[in-house]
Structure formats: C-alpha cells, structure tokens
C-alpha cells in the first residue's frame, strides 16, 4: 500500500477553498497516497468528511466516514451529484475548515451520486440521511461553496466573532 501523504487543514478564508476543483486524471499511486493522507487527516481531526481543497488540492476527491468504523470509509473520485431529492431538512453542520463554527443548513434528504473508486472503476449509489448530508456538504467544497455561504443571517450573526477570528488568523499568518 502506498504511503499516506501528510496534510494540514486549509482553514477559512484560504483562497484554495474558493477554487472550483478539477477532475482527477490519473488513478495512480499518487492518488492512493493522497486518499490515504486525506483519510488520516479526517480521522485525526475527528471529522466525518473531507474534500481535497481542504488539504490544499484543487482536485475532485472526497473522503467520508459517517460512523468512524474503518470499514465505513467512502472515497469518491470525480463525483457527480446526479440527483438531490426528498424533503428539505434542516440540520446543524460543522466543517473542518471552520473550527468551532456550527450552523443549521437546509438540504434535501436524499442524493444520488456517480463517481469513480480509487482504481478508476465507476460506482454509483443512492444515499439518505447523515451520509447524504455529508456528501452534499463535501461536494459543495469541490465547487468552492462553503458553510458560510449557506448559513442563515442569524447563524452568521451568531458566528460573527469566530468568523472574524479566522480571518484575522489568516491575515496574521500571511503577514509573517
């Protein structure tokens, strides 16, 4: 098994989080190392999902795990959300790129995804509930769409200071 790459998290408002990610072209050892590294970063950060832009890569790669059990790891390469349906549900979401920020986000209950696995085999599946929620959140990252864009004005106000702190921290790190 190829060795996992070591990744740090890209925190809001790092510009890479706003880029539209491009398709993975090669299903090679490098991709396997990236995916292993993303899974490791997700686990170490106690996350349930991670998109490649969150580790600084403009590529269409998602990893997720709704339970924390290793056998429940899901990797989606070049995913397409072919359908979103069902009742719209409001649920609190967090994001590893927005530490300590939570907001109620409304999304359709179900989604259908077509993607490729790490070897390049096509996969497709229908998801509902928590997994569907994670997939829709992570898919947003591939389009440069972030938690802050989907927040209600009330949640934006509630998280105003935390958001400002992130922006200040980013500016301070950049200025060093």
**2 near 33, Cβ under 8 Å?**
yes
Q: Is 95 in the site for Co ion (CB under 5 A)?
A: yes
Q: How far is the CB of 62 from Co ion (least distance, A)?
A: 10
Q: Would you say 55 or 115 has its CB closer to Co ion?
A: 55
Min separation Cβ 67 and Co ion, Å: 18
Binding mask 54-93 for Co ion (x = CB under 5 A): ----------------------------------------
* 90: Cβ contacts below 8 Å, ≥ 6 apart: 104, 105, 106
Q: Among 28, 40, 1, which residue's Cα sits nearest to residue 120?
A: 28
Interacting span for Co ion (CB under 5 A) from 16-24, 32-40, 81-89, 95-103: 95-103
Task: Supply the minimum distance, in Å, between the C-beta of residue 140 and Co ion.
Answer: 7
Considering only residues 122 to 151 of the shown chain, the ones binding Co ion according to CB under 5 A are none
Residue 13 DSSP SS3: coil
**In the complex with Co ion, which residue's Cβ is closer, 31 or 42?**
42
Q: Does 34 bind Co ion (CB under 5 A)?
A: no
Active site residue 100: no
> Residue 62 is inside which H or E element, if any?
strand 61-64
Name beta bridge partners: 90.
Answer: 106
Identified catalytic residue from 138, 143, 164, 168: 138
- Taking the least distance from each CB to Co ion, the nearer of 52 and 115 is 52
Distances (CA, A) of 94 to 33, 48, 80: 26, 10, 22
Query: What whole-number distance in Å separates Cα of residue 107 and Cα of residue 89?
Result: 5
How far apart (Å, rounded) are the C-alpha atoms in residues 12 and 29? Answer: 29
Which residues are part of the catalytic machinery?
Answer: 138
Binding residues for Co ion (CB under 5 A): 95
């Amino acid at each position: 098994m190829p060795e996992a790459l070591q990744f740090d998290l890209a925190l809001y408002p790092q510009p890479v989080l706003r880029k539209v990610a491009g398709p993975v072209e090669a299903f090679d050892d490098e991709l396997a190392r990236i995916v292993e590294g993303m899974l490791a970063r997700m686990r170490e950060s106690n996350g349930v999902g991670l998109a490649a832009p969150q580790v600084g890569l403009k590529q269409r790669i998602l990893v997720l795990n709704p339970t924390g059990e290793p056998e429940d790891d899901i990797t989606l390469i070049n995913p397409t959300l072919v359908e979103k349906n069902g009742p719209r549900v409001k649920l609190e979401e967090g994001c590893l790129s927005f530490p300590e920020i939570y907001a109620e986000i409304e999304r359709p209950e179900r989604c259908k995804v077509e993607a490729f696995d790490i070897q390049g085999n096509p996969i497709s599946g229908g998801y509902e509930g928590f997994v569907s929620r994670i997939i829709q959140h992570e898919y947003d990252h591939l389009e440069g769409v972030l938690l802050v864009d989907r927040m209600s004005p009330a949640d934006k106000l509630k998280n105003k200071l935390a958001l400002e702190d992130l922006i200040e921290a980013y500016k301070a790190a950049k200025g060093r």
